[in-house]
Structure 1
Amino acid sequence: MNRITTEFPISSDLENYSYSVITGKEFIIPNKQSPEKEKFDHSWENLKKDNYLKDGKSFRYRQFRYFYFLPSSQKIVPFASTPYYQPPETNQYAEGIDRLFDSMTEEVINNAFLRELIKFDFLQLPVQETMKSTPWLLDIHQVRIVTTEAENGEPTPEGIHHDENDFVCIHLI
């Protein structure tokens, strides 16, 4: 079986605490997924600089793509390359502008490990049955933070914030 699994109670954590923290060791990744995971891990080395940081900062590298996820069929469909927008009320740092990040490469879009990770994440979410029959729009960001002696890396320069999403899954690679 190629499914990513865990024995950790992510769903109950989400229901009880609205978040869950799971270590990499608690993921059960089938050996068949190892080559795809390795390719996915390596893709972080090729991210381009995020040109939307202020004050000439350069600690964040990113690529981005919207996907549709169809829970009933488990189908994952990449959306056309589109700017990422957040209204100023949601993200004052980005000031309500369209941000056109580098689009994910075809290799990442079609990576079997990424696709299994998306399916795994969805299965953990405490959603109503009706939500399992409608398409979900996913905004998937690959972000790498680089810290140097000259510049601190800040995953979110604006600080803790809410991106208007019902659910957020963050994986440290």
Structure 2
Amino acid sequence: MDRTTDSAGIEAARTALTATGAHLMPPAAVRAALPGGSDGWARFAAHWEELSPDPYAASRGTRRLRRYGHFTVDPETGEGTLQPHEPFLQPDRTNHLYETQHREFDPLTDAFLADPVLHSLLELLGKAADALARPERWRVKVHPFRVTAAADSEGQPTPEGRHRDGVTLVTSLLIGRENATGGQSTVYATDGREVLSTTLQEPAALLLSDDRSTLHGVSPIRPVDADRPARRDVLVITYTAA
């Protein structure tokens, strides 16, 4: 890992989050903070082949696969402690589709939990979140997602539309995409003004936003080649000051 690049990437994220509420960390800066090089990244990305169908998204016409886990993270050390598995409940006044619904998702796999890339990501994101709050501990929710689309059915990364997650920091890390067009991520100020808009294209591109002062959404994906399915794999991690 290149610690100089790592430190510069974190400082740029911290500065942008406090100044504008959003930041796009380029893949090179993210990879500098992760262990294992290209082999480590490939091993981490392979966990997306072990996701489970999301029946709640399916009921609204989107084929989405996911898992879910909940950690506490020590702000001083960046060390994450896995919490007992529980249903995922959207905070009040955030996601109008699901905010009163306890959703049951399969837990993160043992291999995912043991992956050093995950723990380095928790440390990296904790350093960015520190610019927004200084809690005694962070409540951290980890959601690996895959959204797919076909010629006759677009994929909806955010079927709820523009929304908040009810957290302090929300992040989206691109793991990979194939045969997909669309998937534009946009962060908005509360007055509707566009703060940042980007399409995550290169694996390890990382979008961060201050969820207390912004909203966000992602446009649908569709196949480039209509004869083959499209997919978009992301890792969403949120930090909430406890």
Give the TM-score normalised by structure 2. 0.64
Query: Closer, same or farther in 2 for the Cα pair 1:43/1:2, shift >3 Å?
Result: farther
Match of 1:114 in 2: 118
Question: Equivalents in 2 of 1:49, 1:94: separation in Å?
Answer: 17
Q: Kindly, what percent of the aligned residue pairs are identical? A: 23
Q: Indicate how the Cα distance of structure 1 residues 47 and 78 shifts in structure 2: closer, same or farther if over 3 A, else same.
A: same
| Cα displacement string for residues 60-83 of structure 1 (whole angstroms, at most 9, x for unaligned residues) | 110000011112233211111110
The alignment covers a number of residue pairs equal to 170
Matched with 2:185 is none
Aligned to 1:36, the other structure's residue is in SS state: helix
Q: How does 1:1-173 map to 2 (within 5 A)?
A: 5=6, 7-8=8-9, 9-29=12-32, 32-34=35-37, 35-53=39-57, 55=59, 57-87=61-91, 89-125=93-129, 126-128=131-133, 130-131=134-135, 134-173=136-175
Query: Could you list the runs of 5+ residues in structure 2 that have no partner in the other structure?
Result: 176-242
Whether the aligned pair in 2 keeps the contact of 1:91 and 1:158 (CA below 8 Å) is yes
Q: CA separation of 1:14/1:158 partners in 2, compared to 1, >3 Å: closer, same or farther?
A: same
Q: Which moved more, 1:112-121 or 1:30-39?
A: 30-39
- Given that 1:65 and 1:103 are in contact with CA atoms closer than 8 Å, whether structure 2 keeps it comes out as yes
Q: Could you tell me which amino acid in structure 2 is paired with residue 5 of structure 1?
A: D
4+ long deviations beyond 6 Å: none
SS at match of 1:52: helix
Structure 1 partner of 2:216: none
- In the TM superposition, residue 25 of structure 1 has moved relative to its aligned partner by 3.0
Q: CA RMSD in A?
A: 2.3
Report how far residue 57 of structure 1 moved: 2.4
What is the TM-score with the length of structure 1 in the denominator? 0.87
- Measure, in 2, the Cα distance between the counterparts of 1:20 and 1:138: 19
How many Å separate the matches in 1 of 2:95 and 2:34? 40
Cα distance in 2, alignment partners of residues 54 and 97 from structure 1? 15
Q: Within 1, Cα distance between the matches of 2:99 and 2:137?
A: 29
For 2:166 and 2:34, the matched residues in 1 are separated by 36
Seen in structure 2, the aligned counterparts of structure 1 residues 87 and 13 have a Cα distance that, compared at 3 Å, is closer
